[in-house]
Amino acid sequence: LNALQANTITIPVRVDIASATDHVCTIDPTSLAFAQSLEANITNDVRVIIEPYLWIAGGTVSETLLNPTDTPSWFTNWKAVLATLNQSFPNAWGLYIASNLVLLEDELASWKSVIKSVRSQTRAKIIYRTNWWYTATWDVGPGSSTEAYENKLANPIFGLPDIISIAAYFELTNVDAPTQG
DSSP 61: B
Report pTM.
0.87
Reported as a single tens digit per residue, the pLDDT across 65-77 is 999 999 999 999 9
Reported as a single tens digit per residue, the pLDDT across 100-146 is 898 999 999 999 999 999 999 999 999 999 887 777 778 888 888 88
Paired with 168 in beta bridges are none
Reported as a single tens digit per residue, the pLDDT across 16-29 is 999 999 999 999 99
pLDDT of residue 2: 57
Looking at every residue in the chain, the average pLDDT score rounds to 90
Q: Please count the CA atoms within 13 angstroms of the CA of 150 that sit on its side-chain side.
A: 11
Residue 175 pLDDT exceeds 80: no
Q: What are the distances in angstroms from CA 112 to CA 66, 105, 127?
A: 19, 11, 13
Helices (H), the chain: 29-40, 71-88, 108-121, 145-154
